[in-house]
Amino acid sequence: MLPLSRLVPKLPDPHAFHPISRHFPRPPSLPIRVVRPYTSPSSAPSPRQVRRNAVLAALLLTSAAGAYYYDTRVRRTETTDLSGREVTTVEKYGKTFTLNLSKRRNAQYTFLRLSDEETEQKLKAHEDSTKVTRRGNPVLKYDTNWVGSNEPCEDRYASDLIPRGDSMKQDHQSWWKLLSLEAEAEGIANEDIFEEKVGKRDLMLFSIFDGHAGWATSELLKKVHHPTIALKLGALQAGYLPSQSGWKVMAGYLNPLTWVGRSNTWTPEYVSQTIVDSFLSLDENICQTPVKMLPLLKVQNSVKDTFPTPRQMFVAMTMPAENGSCAISAIVDAENNGLYLANTGDCRAVAGWESPDGTWKCDVLSEDQMGENPNEVTRMQSEHPNEQDVIKNGRVQGGLQPTRAFGDAIYKWTTNQYNQIKGAFDAEDEKFRKQRPYNFTPPYVTARPEVAYRHLQPESGEKLRFVIMATDGLWDRMTSEEATLLMASYLSHPTHPDIPKTDLPTQFSIQPSTEERPYPAEDLPGTGEQAKGAWVFEGDENAATHLIRNSLGGADRKLRGELLSMHGKITRWMRDDVTCTVVFFGEHEDAKLEAKVE
């Protein structure tokens, strides 16, 4: 595995325009026409001229004050070139709207309302759809989209294909050679990758990363998380069981079944444990690399005329540990008809199964790991007995909401380690997160995932049609069962008049759960708080967009427009970054289903 020093992304120049920020361009300031009054330089101004100048100066000051208020309290008009015409805001609901926040000292914020066209463009700006045409691979297509709230957005996602087979051996390549599904962006034509259409031994990886306290951790995971899993799975296929070392490894060399490729190491139990090991080993590298680099700071004064300095390099290398990120990953094993779902944090994955009788089953594949989850509270209290504040106000030590995450090393370092690392940040005048005052027995946060396994062809005859993976920005506004029904109905009619939330469960029946529902077990669709409002079906070609659209107010188009018109820190108070991936499953010979997902 590559050392972390070669994997950590460089921090951007604080004065440079970060690539992610291109999605959030700062609108230009309002133009102010300055009028310079004419006075004769060769003579003293007359009383009339003095009065005129005073009036003009007052007008200019008033205009400047108005422009400042408008620039800081009201969103400046954004225009977009659509179909050869310039689109600005519409007056359907009024040019502006005011947000009253009673919990923020009764503060009021006024924004300029975006037009319907601009709202749609903002909603669809980051859509991505990929069709998989490898026969034998159970994945037909996947759709992804994200809508940011933080500037820049702290969410990331990744998708990769690992082709296994004779063609890889003939090319003298490792079986875990990754081929990005976005191959066209790398200059590789799709037909070059999918020419043979033999996918019966494929592995496919899909992940979503929900960053917090910055984007450094999620950005790193986007680049190295899948390669880490692939390397670990490659070792498992070669016969090395997870967490083996010493004499057990030597015993593996002496096992003849390992050399002929018949060692029974590829089982759901071993694969699941290997995935767990990959999560933990990567987080160990992220969080412990800064600790191991501390001796580098001692040579700071002895190194002259170097740029960047050792301390600056140290600060850059530490950012993925100082920031944090939740992660959820799906691994599709085509050869063994297996689906693995690993979750660390409060992202969530839901599978939609269609029964032979046409009913649907909502299969929640993960549990939100947060300080309000009773299971996580029990675990944390057992790991840190006699520490009353280990979970405080539903958060780890009163600070972090998810109880599991990559990075967030301030909850994993000792106090001494934290103080040394913080000293380097202070010397470079860089902000550093505060460690909680109850740091008695770290670590308090872990990257250990919970792994769920499903066979793709169960004896019940149910067929897996889709898996929804999303950050909590979606699940804060939609339940697992609602998302399942929205996707089931989307497959039937992507374009349809608005459907009241109470009616959708009657049109698409969902099976009652026979097992305890994972946390959070919210009201079922059409009942309780989930009975208010309606859902929209506006013909989105991207399934992830369909879900995100409904999470932003459903059929309340006025609310959706306002949520997408907000900007700045106020946006984060009203909605979170949201990233969603929908993976469609089926047989490539199933023309009816393929037509639905195209």
Q: Give the CATH number, domain containing residue 364.
A: 3.60.40.10
Provide mean pLDDT across the span 108-121. 91
Mean pLDDT in residue range 119-137:
95
Per residue in 512-564, pLDDT tens? 888 888 898 888 888 887 788 999 999 999 999 999 999 999 999 999 999 99
Residue 183 has pLDDT above 90, yes or no: no
Q: Which residues have a Cβ under 8 Å from the Cβ of 242 and sit 6 or more positions away?
A: 232, 236, 270, 273, 274, 276, 277
Residue 12 counted as domain residue: no
Taking residues 51-74, report their average pLDDT: 43
- Write down the pLDDT at residue 298: 79
In the predicted structure, residue 407 carries a pLDDT above the cut 80: yes
Tokens of 369: 């790991």
pLDDT at position 103: 67
Q: Greatest CA span in the chain, whole angstroms?
A: 107
- Please give the pLDDT value at position 307: 77
Spatial neighbors of 494 by CB under 8 A, at least 6 apart, are: 537, 539, 540, 541, 546
Residue 92 lies in a domain: no
Residue 189 has pLDDT above 80, yes or no: no
- Residue 157 forms part of a structural domain: yes
For residue 300, name the pLDDT band (cuts at 50, 70, 90).
low
CB 242 within 8 A of CB 273: yes
Determine, yes or no, domain membership for 75: no
Residue 310 CA to residue 308 CA, distance in Å, equals 7
Task: Give strand pairing partners of 451.
Answer: 342
The verdict on residue 504 lying in a domain is yes
Using one digit for the tens of pLDDT, what is the confidence trace for 479-499? 999 999 999 999 999 999 999
> How far apart are alpha carbons 261 and 16 in whole angstroms?
51
Confidence of residue 68 (pLDDT cuts 50, 70, 90): very low
Residue 43 in any domain: the answer is no
Q: Which amino acid is at 234?
A: G
Tell me whether residue 18 is in a domain. no
- The band of 104, judged by pLDDT with boundaries at 50, 70 and 90, is low
Interatomic CA distance for residues 341 and 414, integer angstroms: 32
Q: What percent of the chain has pLDDT over 70?
A: 72
Once rounded to an integer, what is the mean pLDDT over residues 48-66? 46
Burial 343-378 (b: 16+ CB within 10 A, else e): bbbbbbbbbbbbeeeeebbbbbbbbbbbbbbeebbe
In which band, very low, low, confident or very high, does the pLDDT at 477 lie, cut at 50, 70 and 90? Answer: very high
pLDDT higher than 80, residue 52: no
- Identify whether 51 is part of a domain: no
* Residue range(s) defining the domain that contains residue 478: 126-369+404-414+445-597
Q: For the chain, what is the mean pLDDT?
A: 80
What's the whole-number mean pLDDT along residues 423-452?
96
Give the β-pairing of 578-585 and 395-396: unpaired
- Does residue 459 or residue 159 have the better pLDDT? 159
Share above pLDDT 90 across residues of the chain, in percent, rounded to a whole number: 59
Q: What is the pTM of this model?
A: 0.79
For the chain, what is the domain count?
Answer: 1
Please state, in angstroms and rounded to a whole number, the distance separating the CA atoms of residues 118 and 562: 12
Residue 95's pLDDT band (cuts 50, 70, 90): confident
DSSP alpha helix (H) spans, 384-531: 415-427, 472-475, 480-492, 504-507
What is the mean predicted confidence (pLDDT) over 197-220? Answer: 94
